[in-house]
Structures are given as C-alpha cells and as structure tokens.
C-alpha cells in the first residue's frame, strides 16, 4: 500500500509533464520542486529531451529507482495513463494537478472512479485530481505552481478549493504567518480531509488545523478523525452553503450533492470543531491560532467601557459554547480597589465611560492572573475626545 507519510516527505520526486517554458504552470512547479534540498527530482515528458539542467525521460517506468512522489500535469486524455504508469511503477503517491475532463457531471465522476480503481489496484495514494498541490515548509517541499516562500508554523491549512487555498497562502505570506502544512485537495478521488487530519494528529509541529470544506466524502470517517484531533488541538472550519439557495449553487459548482447544512452544523459541534461563517473570520482565527498565548479554556473575562458592548460579547461567547468567568474572592477584592465605586461586581466588567489605559491594564492583569479565568477579551467603545 502507498504510504501517505512517505509521499509527503519524499526523497525522490517524478514530475510528469515537466516543461521549462517561461511563465508556464509547469515551469513554476519545476522551479518549486528544484528549490528543495536533499531530494532527487526526475523530469518526465515524452516530447522533451531536456528541461533546464535535467535529462527528460519518456515515462516514469524508465526511472531506475523507487519514487516516493509523482506530480502529474498532463493533458486530460493522458492523466489516467500517467497515473496507471505510476501505480505499476510502485510509486508511493501522486499529486494530480490536472483537472480532468470538463464534461458532464457523469463524465467527471467516471474519471474520478477510474483514478480510484487504479489507486485500489496498485496501492498508490492520490491527491486530486484538480489539486493545487501541497507545501510543507518545515521540510522545504513545495509541490505547487504557486510562487510562494511560506514560513514554517504550527497551523495546517487544508482546502478543497484551489482559489481559497491560494488566497490563504498569499495572505499568510503578506502577514508573515507560517503554516505546518498547506494542501489543496481538489476532487478527492482518494486522499480526503480525514486522511490528512489523521496524519497531522501525529505531527508534533501541528498545533491546529484550518479547513475550507465544500463537501465531506465519508461523514463517519471525518467525525472520527476530527474528534480525535480536537480533544487536544483546535480545528476551525469554513463551509459555504448555509442556506438552500447557496447550497444549490454549491451543487452546481462541485457537481455533487452536499446535504443539509443543519446536519453539517450539528456534526461539527459534536466533533468539537469551531465553525466560522466568513473569510474575514477565517483569517482572524488564523491570527489567534498562531498566538503564543491561547486561552486555557472556555472561561472568559469580558472587559469593556460600554455595557452594551459587553452584552454583545456575552451573546457571541454563549453562541460559541464558552462561558463567562467567575473571578475568585481575592480577585474581586483586587478589582474593588481599581474599579469605580458603583461597578456591578459582575462579569462583563464595565470599567465605565471614563476608563483610561491604566485602568484597562490593571483590570486585565488581575483577570489573567486569577485561577477562575482562562482568557480575557478587552473591548473598547471609542469616543471623540476620550482617554483611549
């Protein structure tokens, strides 16, 4: 059986469809693969004798050593034969960048089923087709056509959409945020979300996972993998299609029935997955996940200069299954010496309209040192001519 771990930490890589035409997708992939150190890169293209400084072979079967990873970029009518050659060669796994036929839903489904049959018969793992590729910054592997120097980090990002994946990658680069893995899975003829969650559970460097999901192939498998990971580390998910109309649009986009969103929502909650609704929330969550100071648990102190803002924060906290922290007796006594005489002695902590930076800092310090508090949210209503 193909080994997903070996496939994603390859010593030998075959690039099927290698080309060095300036500006081409194939050239970008080739440059990315050659930028990694300690790996043997083989170029395969029957129409080429040489690409850059590499001799070009006609077929992967001509390579005289074991191949851990094949990256396939071939015309649609050659993808299946290239995949089968890799399987017969004993390649551990393939990333199929090629999208496959653009015909009817039935034609696309038949194409993916034939890839699955090859994978099952030969024991080779397959990411794709229509994959955007995989980047593992810590080991220097970039098997994508994206021109990106991604920093290593502790959050894995896995997406079914190449567009969303690319946006997330370039946002990470712009904000100097690193990832432990970046993966665009495409059509998921074989390797799916659950497979990567299971793999990442064993990865010491991955402390959280962010998922962009349009559909789930095997709900039972996904829930099982997610629950195991979410026991100790957070999983955050963005899934479109929350309403009947958008679900229809999603079905038209993917060609596959995606199911009732209420069922997805309940399943995510059962598995301990945090669901966000918008891309802005997704990016904000990424910033939180890479923070060195994550909350210890769900008990939150809400610190504000506006009672209204405090109640809004309270509603959002309850919606996300968190709860307001109850400070210890010693903590309350410390706050009594800081807060206005008329304060409510309750959480949310209303610092009053005249709160300045020093009061915010003092109250936050007391809360974060209190055994009854896992984290603190400081919310400010800015006012013209105010202190902050």
pLDDT tens, position by position, 25-35: 999 999 999 99
pLDDT score of 120 more than 90: yes
Contact predicate 79/22, CB 8 Å: no
Q: How many CB atoms are closer than 10 A to CB 230?
A: 19
Give the pLDDT confidence of 170-180 residue by residue, as tens digits.
888 888 888 99
Report the pLDDT value the prediction gives residue 352, as an integer from 0 to 100: 83
357 CB contacts (<8 Å, ≥6 apart)?
387, 388
Token pair 């299954």 is found at 321
Report the pLDDT value the prediction gives residue 228, as an integer from 0 to 100: 94
Got the DSSP string for 142-178?
EEES----PPEEEEEEEES-HHHHHHHHHHHHHTT--
CA distance 237 to 224: 16
Give the pLDDT confidence of 135-154 residue by residue, as tens digits.
999 999 999 999 878 889 99
Q: Dmax over Cα atoms in the chain, in whole Å?
A: 84
């Amino acid at each position: 059986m193909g080994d997903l771990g070996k496939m994603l930490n390859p010593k030998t890589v075959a690039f099927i469809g290698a080309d060095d035409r300036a500006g081409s997708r194939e050239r970008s992939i080739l440059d990315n693969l050659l930028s990694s150190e300690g790996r043997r890169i083989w170029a395969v293209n029957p129409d080429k004798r040489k690409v850059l400084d590499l001799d070009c072979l006609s077929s992967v079967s001509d390579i005289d050593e074991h191949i851990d990873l094949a990256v396939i970029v071939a015309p649609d009518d050659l993808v299946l034969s290239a995949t089968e050659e890799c399987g017969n060669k004993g390649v551990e796994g393939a990333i199929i960048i090629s999208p496959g036929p653009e015909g009817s839903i039935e034609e696309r489904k038949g194409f993916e089923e034939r890839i699955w049959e090859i994978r099952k018969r030969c024991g080779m793992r397959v990411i794709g087709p229509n994959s955007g590729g995989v980047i593992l910054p810590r080991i220097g592997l970039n098997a994508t056509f994206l021109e990106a120097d991604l920093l290593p980090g502790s959050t894995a990002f896995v997406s079914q959409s190449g567009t969303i994946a690319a946006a997330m990658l370039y946002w990470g680069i712009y904000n100097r945020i690193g990832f432990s893995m970046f993966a665009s899975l495409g059509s998921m003829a074989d390797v799916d979300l659950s497979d990567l969650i299971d793999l990442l559970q064993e990865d010491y460097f991955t402390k959280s996972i962010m998922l962009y999901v349009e559909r789930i192939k095997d709900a039972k498998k996904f829930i099982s993998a997610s629950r195991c990971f979410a026991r100790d580390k957070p999983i955050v998910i963005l899934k479109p299609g929350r309403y009947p109309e958008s679900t229809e649009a999603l079905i038209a986009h993917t060609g596959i029935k995606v199911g009732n969103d209420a069922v997805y929502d309940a399943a995510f909650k059962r598995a301990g997955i945090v669901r966000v609704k918008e891309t802005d929330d997704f990016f904000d969550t990424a910033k939180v996940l890479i923070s060195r100071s994550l909350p210890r648990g769900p008990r939150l102190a809400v610190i504000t200069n506006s009672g209204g803002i405090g109640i809004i924060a309270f509603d959002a906290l309850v919606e996300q299954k968190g709860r307001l922290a109850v400070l210890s007796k010693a903590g309350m006594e410390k706050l009594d010496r800081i807060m206005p005489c008329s304060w409510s002695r309750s959480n949310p902590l209303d610092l009053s309209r005249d709160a300045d930076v020093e009061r915010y800092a003092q109250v936050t310090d007391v809360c974060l040192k209190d055994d009854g508090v896992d984290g603190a949210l400081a919310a400010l209503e800015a006012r013209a001519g105010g202190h902050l």
